[in-house]
């Protein structure tokens, strides 16, 4: 067997990655993928040279958009703690104000029935396809914030190839490693970021069994990407709540913070206070462990656009010189608002630092990051 997959197989995989990217981007924007005005220039050029995939792209996009609408409708339905019969519910699913006495009698009987001993059945093993489908749904919806339809990975047609099945035996692992390194991680080491997680989503649509059924891969990549995706929502919320219509309102927010912020954020004693002082001395260690503080200070200190760099400042008239950031907290918040790229960069550097310099698990790391962002 040759050391690398045949070029035609690699071309086949590259085509499917491009198709998946075009379809997913079109689902997220809601634009018809065949309307080239909504495509990236490179995708538009590729599609014009590969018209044979037009029907497949449109059918997949239409199917996923339909599923997206259905899921939105389901989300609007009202959920109740108990499975009330329809006679107690309105058309919109809410409880009726009438028949309250009868409803309480039903609820009392329902609770009594739940307390009755029952013979526990041996749980049936969960089918592989069911676990696979649920894993796909959880991961895809987490990364893209869209409820995407799960393709039937067994139903192979001419327009919907299944690479896990069609590749020659023994080539799957080689493909997996090569695609992960070259496409998902750009040959920069397997460090997960929001951008690589979006690429991993496309990869997982081609190799779902590896992503959702292989325990090591699931723990190492798929589930961590879902955590990172949730943290990205906190960053998005920062930009939604910060009013930058004029500099005055932005500076006012920088000084007062968001509604319900922690004391360390909402009560700044001086506008000249720096992020160095706030992180090191004012944020409780219960919210941010000391080692996480040190890593964050080091990250920001090396990002001069956010901190102005580290300088020595004297405390009081006769005090010792201590390290400080050149820029104050107010300018730190202003720069985060003006430069989303710097926001994402410092979060990723901080994440990588905690992953390599502490023993904390990915979930704990993301929770520390989210607590900080929530109060910015």
Q: Where are the domains of the chain?
A: 7-77+128-234, 242-374
pLDDT at 14: 75
pLDDT at 370: 93
Return the structure tokens found at 163. Answer: 């690479």
Q: Give the pLDDT mean for 34-56.
A: 77
pLDDT at 368: 93
Instruction: Answer whether 274's CB lies under 8 Å from 324's CB.
Output: yes
pLDDT(151) > 60? no
Mean of pLDDT over the chain = 75
pLDDT(136) > 90? no
pLDDT at 206: 78
The larger pLDDT score, comparing residue 6 to residue 248, is at 248
Q: What is the number of other CB atoms lying within 10 angstroms of the CB of residue 48?
A: 11
Per-residue pLDDT reduced to its tens digit, 113-125: 766 554 444 445 5
The larger pLDDT score, comparing residue 76 to residue 151, is at 76
Per-residue pLDDT reduced to its tens digit, 328-370: 888 888 888 888 999 999 999 999 899 889 999 888 999 999 9
Residue listed under structure tokens 């750009």 = 186
Return the structure tokens found at 95. Answer: 């409880």
Per-residue pLDDT reduced to its tens digit, 204-263: 887 788 888 888 888 888 888 888 888 988 898 888 887 666 777 877 888 888 888 888
pLDDT at 244: 65
Comparing 71-80, 163-172, 237-246, which segment has the lowest mean pLDDT?
A: 163-172
CA atoms within 13 A on the CB side of 328: 10
Per-residue pLDDT reduced to its tens digit, 168-190: 444 455 666 777 888 888 888 78
**How large a percentage of the chain has pLDDT more than 90?**
11
pLDDT(292) > 90? yes
Q: Give the pLDDT mean for 62-80.
A: 65
pLDDT(295) > 90? yes
Q: Give the pLDDT mean for 311-327.
A: 73
Confidence of residue 48 (pLDDT cuts 50, 70, 90): confident
Cα dihedral across residues 224, 229, 235, 241: positive or negative: negative
């Amino acid at each position: 067997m040759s050391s690398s997959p045949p070029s035609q197989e690699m071309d086949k995989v590259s085509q499917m990655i491009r198709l998946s990217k075009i379809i997913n981007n079109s689902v997220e924007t809601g634009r018809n993928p065949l309307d080239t005005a909504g495509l990236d220039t490179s995708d538009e050029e590729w599609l014009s040279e590969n018209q044979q995939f037009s029907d497949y792209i449109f059918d997949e996009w239409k199917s996923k958009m339909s599923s997206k609408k259905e899921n939105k409708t389901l989300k609007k339905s009202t959920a109740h703690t108990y499975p009330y019969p329809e006679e107690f519910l309105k058309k919109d699913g809410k409880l009726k104000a009438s028949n309250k006495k009868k409803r309480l009698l039903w609820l009392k009987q329902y609770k009594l029935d739940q307390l009755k001993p029952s013979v526990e059945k041996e749980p049936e093993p969960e089918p592989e396809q069911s676990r696979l489908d649920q894993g796909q749904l959880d991961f895809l919806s987490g990364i893209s914030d869209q409820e995407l339809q799960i393709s039937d990975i067994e139903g192979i047609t001419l327009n919907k190839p299944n690479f896990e099945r069609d590749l020659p035996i023994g080539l799957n692992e080689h493909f997996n490693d090569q695609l992960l390194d070259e496409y998902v991680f750009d040959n920069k080491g397997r460090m997960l970021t929001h951008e690589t997680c979006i690429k991993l989503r496309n990869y997982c649509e081609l190799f779902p069994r590896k992503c959702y059924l292989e325990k090591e891969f699931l723990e190492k990549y798929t589930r961590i990407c879902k955590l990172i995706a949730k943290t990205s929502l906190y960053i998005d919320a920062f930009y939604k709540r910060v009013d930058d219509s004029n500099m005055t309102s932005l500076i006012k927010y920088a000084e007062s913070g968001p509604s319900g912020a922690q004391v360390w954020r909402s009560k700044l004693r001086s506008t000249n206070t720096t992020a160095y002082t706030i992180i090191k001395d004012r944020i409780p260690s219960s919210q941010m462990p000391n080692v996480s503080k040190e890593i964050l200070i080091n990250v920001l200190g090396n990002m001069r656009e956010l901190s102005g760099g580290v300088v020595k400042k004297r405390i009081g008239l006769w005090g010792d010189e201590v390290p400080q950031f050149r820029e104050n907290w107010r300018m730190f918040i202003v720069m985060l608002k003006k430069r989303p790229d710097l926001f994402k960069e410092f979060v990723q550097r901080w994440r990588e630092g905690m992953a390599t310099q502490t023993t904390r698990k990915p979930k704990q790391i993301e929770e520390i990051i989210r607590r900080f962002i929530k109060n910015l």
